[in-house]
A and B are shown apart, each in its own frame.
Chain A
Amino acid sequence: MSIKVTLPAAFTRHTDGRKQFDSAAGNLPALLTDIDQTFPALSTQIKGEDGKLRRFINIYVNDEDIRFLGGETYAFQDGDEIMLIPSIAGGSE
């Protein structure tokens, strides 16, 4: 099983410029462990001092916010496209 992970440009200084990589992680915690090992500098950037993912990062699975899919409990499917994006979201009140 393999998933494809896409990163925003702001993160690529910690990945030797790579914007995409493949992972065999089965869920979000496993993906973060994978990032710990493959890109330790990126891991430091996306996690807070408490070791948890910073709240300013949104994770999407195939265009859907992972929080709508069960968050950490969601089991990645083969071919899933995972996207990490800082939540600089706009407003249009």
Chain B
Amino acid sequence: MNYSCSRYELKCNECGKRFGNQPLSACPDCLAPLEVAYDLEAVRGIFTKENISAGPANIWRYAALLPIPDGFQPDLPVGFTPLIRAKNLGNRIGAANLYIKNDAVCFPTLSFKDRVVSVALANAQKFGFTTVGCSSTGNLANSVAAQSARLGLKACILVPADLEPAKILNTLVYGARLVRIDGNYDHVNRLCTQIADEYAWGFVNVNLRPYYAEGSKTVGYEIAEQLGWRLPDNVVVPMAGGSLIRKIRKAFNELIYLGLVEEKPVRFFGAQATGCSPISVAVKQGTDEVVPQRPNTIARSLAIGNPNDGPAASRMILDSGGWAEDVSDVEIVSGIQELAETEGIFTETAGGVTTAVTARLYVDGRIGKDQITVTCITGNGLKTTDALTGHYQQERAVRPRLADFDTYLRELDGLAEPDLVTAGAK
């Protein structure tokens, strides 16, 4: 199988200029972000349902519409995560056709970032970088560290100093160099743009960003394929930089253009934490003017106060007839618990945001009960267990005797007087 689509190049969406393929993220003339443009006609007849289903059960089945250099041989089976019908959660929040796209189990590092990193690193190798890096709020750090280790690339990763301990450990274990920066993500990111100027490193979300971002399209392809090659009515997506939600739409549009799905208006809904909600605020005001914020939320993976793709994401959401909503830290924790208790999926704080926002959208009547709605869960709860600190107590140990066990259960269920149980247990 040929894993490349030869006809793609960088294009400026503002001035329309094209720049071939190189490690470059901003238009040298008007400074707008560059995006990968494809010759879709060149893949007509190649990017077909039949060819895709004959491909491997991972994102490389869609390689013909990813910016993958010639000769690339896929290594890791990234993506193709489950799309599950969420009947239990649906019953609780009044949704009859709710689906969860579960990237909490994405391979290899349990977040949707594995998709973008695998595409970025394919290009890093093509461009000859031997050191790669990123600015990250955690999930990206984990994925760059793991995948660069596998590919034999050196990695230097910059994160905000207050990152969750689990995300730091999950980066260091792969042997990556990790630098904690005394500042928030926006500070880290700004520093990375300066480093990329001075060092010949491939920063996946700076100079490799246009390629990196394309990996997110695979979420959209998978949703459509897993729904039986049809589009949902609504998609609910967490927003940090605002890239993922746009790329899902790009994927849907490509599928429509190539005739793999029927055209249909899909409404896009963005989810943020109230403590970092620049895009949500803009959408609620009906504008694409995104005013930066200083983040203050437990959802650190969404804590980007100055989102680069914010204006474009706001515009796209409004154009689609969708909406954006934001929820408090308390609701985020409830969202995590609700998804775990109903569907058996343990997601990180970002998934708590998305779940709580989804519930709110149904309650507020913005999403109809019977509409087909997909909620995107992008990360794993094992990485942000500190968000649940104090919510679950470790109960006393029980002696290994049936009677004690029986008493203990009664105690838990409130069937016995605690005083008597305590006395009996001695």
Using a CB–CB cutoff of 8 Å, the interface residues on chain A facing chain B are 8-10, 45-46, 48, 54-58, 60, 63, 65, 67-68, 83, 85-93
Chain B residues in 8 Å Cβ range of A45: 29, 31
Q: Which of B181-227 contact A (CB under 8 A)?
A: 183, 185-187, 189-190, 192-194, 197-198, 203, 205-206, 209
> What is the CB-to-nearest-CB distance from B394 to chain A, in angstroms, rounded to a whole number?
32
Chain B residues in 8 Å Cβ range of A10: 26, 28, 31, 197
A89 lies within 8 A of B292 (CB): no
Complex-state Cα separation, A22 to B241, whole angstroms: 33
Q: Which residue of B lies closest to A19 (CB)?
A: B197
Q: Which 6 A-B pairs have the closest CB atoms?
A: A91-B241, A90-B205, A89-B308, A93-B240, A92-B137, A9-B197
B30 lies within 8 A of A54 (CB): yes
| B355, CB-defined interface residue at 8 Å | no
Complex-state Cα separation, A58 to B271, whole angstroms: 25
Task: Give which listed residue, B25, B198, B240, B291, contacts A91 with CB less than 8 A.
Answer: B240
Given A56-B32, A58-B306, is A88 in contact with B26 using a C-beta cutoff of 8 Å? Answer: yes
Using a CB–CB cutoff of 8 Å, the interface residues on chain B facing chain A are 25-26, 28-33, 112-113, 134-140, 183, 185-187, 189-190, 192-194, 197-198, 203, 205-206, 209, 238-244, 291-292, 294, 301-302, 304, 306-309, 311, 350, 378
Add 14 more A-B contacts to A54-B31, A65-B186, A91-B241 (CB < 8 A): A9-B197, A9-B198, A56-B33, A83-B190, A85-B193, A86-B193, A88-B206, A90-B192, A91-B307, A92-B136, A92-B137, A93-B112, A93-B240, A93-B244
Task: Give which listed residue, A65, A83, A87, A93, contacts B243 with CB less than 8 A.
Answer: A93
Which of A63, A88, A90: most chain B Cβ within 10 A?
A90
Task: Give which listed residue, B28, B134, B138, B292, contacts A90 with CB less than 8 A.
Answer: B134
